[in-house]
Structures are given as C-alpha cells and as structure tokens.
Amino acid sequence: MSQVTHIHEILPYTFNSVVTFPNGDVIQKQLIEGREYAYKTIYNGDVTIVIMDNGAKGVAKRSPKDPYSTQIGHDIAHARARVASANKEIERISKTQSVKERRIKVSK
C-alpha cells in the first residue's frame, strides 16, 4: 500500500456537565466548550501516524500476525496522539499556573 494522507477537521461544540453526589446534591456544574481542531492521519504500509494540530504525534504499527485494518491503526494512533497532546497541555498549564490556580473549585 502506498502512503495515503487524510485531514480530519473537528468543529466547535458545547455541552453541559453536572456532577452530583449519590443522593442527587449538585457538586459542580460546568459548561464545556470544545474547540475546533484538525489532525492529519498518514497511512504508510503497516504504520499509521496521527499528527495533531499542536504537533503531538501518535504512531501505530501493525504486527505481521494481525490483519491490516485502517480503522484499528487510526484508532490506536489517534488515542496515542491525544495522550501526547494532553501531556503537552498539562506541561503548559504546569508552567503557567501556580498550584493554587490549578485547583478545581467545588461549588456547594
């Protein structure tokens, strides 16, 4: 198989999150807004590479014993890229915010 590249674009989204105690009392309410982002997927033989828009990369390599599946390769590489992206974000936050600023505030 020759190299194939796909560009994926995710549109902005919004959803509400409510965290409650088992008795139903509200712990926290959040309005979560997802940002628009894009990532590139490269299929090159037995290797699938996902590169996020912040440069984080995930790689999946097919074992010679396994059947070829672009979907499985994509899913593994994408998951690894998202972990790398999250680690970059954690590192960025750790450098720019104090421990006190990073603490989550719980509303009662």
pLDDT, one tens digit per residue, over 43-64 is: 998 999 999 988 999 999 998 8
Q: Average pLDDT, stretch 28-41?
A: 81
- Whether the per-residue pLDDT at 88 is higher than 80: the answer is yes
Asked, for residue 105, whether it belongs to a domain, the answer is: no
- Whether the per-residue pLDDT at 77 is higher than 90: the answer is yes
Asked, for residue 104, whether it belongs to a domain, the answer is: no
pLDDT at 94: 81
Asked, for residue 78, whether it belongs to a domain, the answer is: yes
Tokens of 37: 């982002």
Question: Residue 65 is part of which domain span?
Answer: 4-98
pLDDT at 41: 93
pLDDT at 31: 77
Q: Which residue has the tokens 């974000």?
A: 89
Tokens of 76: 């593994």
Which of the two residues, 107 and 86, has the higher pLDDT score?
86
DSSP E strand stretches across 1-108: 4-10, 13-20, 26-34, 37-44, 47-52, 57-61
Name the percent of the chain lying above pLDDT 90: 34
> pLDDT grade, residue 75 (50/70/90)?
very high
Contacts of 26 (CB under 8 A, 6+ apart): 18, 19, 20, 107
Asked, for residue 41, whether it belongs to a domain, the answer is: yes
- Whether the per-residue pLDDT at 38 is higher than 60: the answer is yes
Asked, for residue 25, whether it belongs to a domain, the answer is: yes
Domains of the chain: total: 1
Asked, for residue 36, whether it belongs to a domain, the answer is: yes
Asked, for residue 107, whether it belongs to a domain, the answer is: no
